[in-house]
């Protein structure tokens, strides 16, 4: 009831919709802070940046991908990242598609046991230019950025899956959960 003695009634379905709406609104992940996101030049594609990094010197870009190497230097922590296209909320896509590699310098200390190869990051950074370095038996020119914001995504590669059992009373009846099936490996040399 409010102060005038009136009670506000919200239908049960609408009540749940409001609760979930608030949870989703408040639970949104922000990989790049709003003040930086507004300054990011979204018109620069990674392909354009890779082709001519010096043309975009001083521009703020948002990139994401998988860390390939991480090392601490006198200048700060340097990451070599395999670029992955950014999806909604600036989350790097889980795909084999990549435009190439880029280097970033974080002027400070990042623990390389945490920011390690295989982890996924989203970076807002200022383009410093290009850096040419050996990559296996070739020379590779990397776009080189100074980190203004970095977001390390949760490592979900080793998360445990739920333990489903064949117990009586489970749905439906004694069958296993509908999304759990054993993996059967066959010896391909016998075929």
Q: 11: burial class by Cβ within 10 Å (0-12, 13-18, 19+)?
A: exposed
Q: Which of 1-5, 117-121, 148-152, 183-187 has the lowest mean pLDDT?
A: 183-187
pLDDT at 89 (0 to 100): 87
Instruction: Give the pLDDT mean for 48-65.
Output: 97
Give the residue extent of every domain in the chain.
Answer: 32-152
Of residues 174 and 73, more confidence is placed in: 73
* Residues 96-108 pLDDT 10s: 999 999 999 999 9
The per-residue pLDDT of the chain, averaged, comes to 80
Q: Which of 26-35, 70-79, 83-92, 135-144 has the lowest mean pLDDT?
A: 26-35
What gap in Å lies between CA 78 and CA 146, rounded to an integer?
9
Instruction: Give the pLDDT mean for 179-188.
Output: 47
Q: Which of 12-21, 129-138, 150-159 has the lowest mean pLDDT?
A: 12-21
Of residues 120 and 184, more confidence is placed in: 120
What gap in Å lies between CA 165 and CA 73, rounded to an integer?
50
Would you tell me which CATH number, out of the four given (3.20.20.110, 2.170.190.11, 3.40.50.2300, 2.40.50.140), belongs to the domain 32-152? 2.40.50.140
What gap in Å lies between CA 83 and CA 120, rounded to an integer?
10
> Strand locations in the chain, DSSP E?
60-72, 77-83, 101-106, 120-135, 138-152
Percent above pLDDT 70 for the chain: 66
Confidence of residue 182 (pLDDT cuts 50, 70, 90): very low
Of residues 23 and 84, more confidence is placed in: 84
Instruction: Give the pLDDT mean for 163-185.
Output: 49
Provide the residue count of the chain. Answer: 191
pLDDT at 88 (0 to 100): 86
Instruction: Give the pLDDT mean for 163-187.
Output: 49
pLDDT at 164 (0 to 100): 47
């Amino acid at each position: 009831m409010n102060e005038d003695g009136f009670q506000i009634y919200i239908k049960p379905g609408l009540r749940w919709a409001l609760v979930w709406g608030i949870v989703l609104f408040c639970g949104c992940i922000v990989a790049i802070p709003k003040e930086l996101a507004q300054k990011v030049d979204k018109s620069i594609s990674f392909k354009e940046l890779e082709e001519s990094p010096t043309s975009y010197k001083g521009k703020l870009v948002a990139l994401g991908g998988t860390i390939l190497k991480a090392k601490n230097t006198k200048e700060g922590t340097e990451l070599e990242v395999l670029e992955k296209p950014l999806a909604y909320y600036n989350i790097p896509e889980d795909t084999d598609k990549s435009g190439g590699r880029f280097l970033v310098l974080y002027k400070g200390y990042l623990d390389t046991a945490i920011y390690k190869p295989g982890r996924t990051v989203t970076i807002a950074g200022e383009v410093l230019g290009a850096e040419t370095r050996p990559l296996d038996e070739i020379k590779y020119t990397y776009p080189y950025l100074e980190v203004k914001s970095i977001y390390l995504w949760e490592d979900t590669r080793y998360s445990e899956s739920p333990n489903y059992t064949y117990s009586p009373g489970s749905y439906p009846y004694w069958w296993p959960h509908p999304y759990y099936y054993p993996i059967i490996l066959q010896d391909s040399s016998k075929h």
